[in-house]
Amino acid sequence: MLMAAVLVVVGVFAFPDMRAPSRALTVPATSRRRGLATWIGRRSYIRARAHRRLVDDLPDVLEMIARSLRGGANLRGALADATEHDSPAAQSLRPVMSRINAGDRLGDALDAWASRVDDPNTDLARAVLRLGDATGAGVASSLEQAATSLRDRAALTAEIQALSSQARLSSIVIGFAPLAFLAVSAIVDPASAAVLVTTRFGLVCLAFGLGLDVIGVRWMRRIGTGVVQ
C-alpha cells in the first residue's frame, strides 16, 4: 500500500498528463467531454500529419520547378507543371495557379499560399519564387539550393526529436528508479522501510526525496520540450 501511494503521488505531480478527471463530474458529462476531446485530438493529429507530409514533400516540388525552368519554361509554366503532380505540396500550389489564372499577381498568390500553410519552409520557398518573379532572373539554382537546405533542416529536426525522446525516456527512468529501489528495500528489509512512515524524521526524508524526484523529472521533461521547440 505504501509503494502504491508513493507511485500515484509521483505520477500525478511529475506527469500531469496522467491525472485522472474529477469524479465530481457526472458520467454523461464526462463521456461527452471525453468524446469531444477525442474528436478534437484526432482532427489535430490528422491536420498535423497532413502538414508534415506537405512540408516533407516541398523539396521535391521545388526541384520539379527547377527542372522545368532549366528545360526552358517560365516561372508560371514551371509552377503549372508542378501542380499536375499528386503530391501534397504540389496539390497545395493549385490554388496559387487558380488565383494567377483569375488575374492575381504571382507574388500575391504565393503570399496567400504561404500564409495558409504557415510554415518556415514555405516562407523560404515563397521568398525564392518571389525573387525570381520580381527580377526575372533564372532561379533554378536557387530553388535547388533551397530544396537542399529544407532537407538538411528536416534531417536536423528529426535528429533533435530523437534525442529529445531519449531525454524523456531518461526522465521516466530516473524518476521511477528511486521508487523501485524503495520498493525493493521494503521487501528485503521491511523494518528499515517502516522508519519512513512511522517516524517524523522518516516522513520528512520521504517528502523531501519525493519532492526532489518530482522536480528532477519535470525539469528534464521541460529541457526536452525546449530542445524540440
Cell numbers standing for residue 42: 484526432
The answer to whether the beta carbons of residues 87 and 119 sit under 8 Å apart is: no
| For residues 101-118, average pLDDT | 88
- The secondary structure of residue 72, as a DSSP letter, is T
Residue 24's SS3 state is coil
What's the N-to-C CA distance of the chain in angstroms? 40
Cα separations in angstroms, 79 against 56, 61, 114, 206, 207 = 18, 9, 15, 66, 64
Torsion of CA 58, 63, 67, 68, to 10 degrees: 20
Q: State residue 45's pLDDT score.
A: 64
Cell numbers standing for residue 163: 534525442
Summarised one tens digit per residue, pLDDT across range 22-47 is 444 444 556 666 665 665 666 676 77
Residue 5's SS3 state is helix
pTM: 0.58
Q: Is the pLDDT of residue 198 over 80?
A: yes
Q: Is the pLDDT of residue 217 over 60?
A: yes
Q: Where are the alpha helices (DSSP H) in the chain?
A: 2-14, 27-70, 75-82, 88-92, 94-101, 106-117, 120-135, 140-188, 190-198, 200-228
pLDDT band at 13 (very low <50, low <70, confident <90, very high): very low
Least confident range of 91-95, 157-161, 185-189, 225-229: 225-229
pLDDT band at 10 (very low <50, low <70, confident <90, very high): very low
Q: How far is CA 12 from the centre of its chain?
A: 23
Q: Is the pLDDT of residue 7 over 60?
A: no
Q: State residue 40's pLDDT score.
A: 66
Summarised one tens digit per residue, pLDDT across range 80-97 is 888 888 888 888 889 989
Rounded to an integer, what distance in angstroms lies between the CA atom of residue 12 and that of residue 7? 9
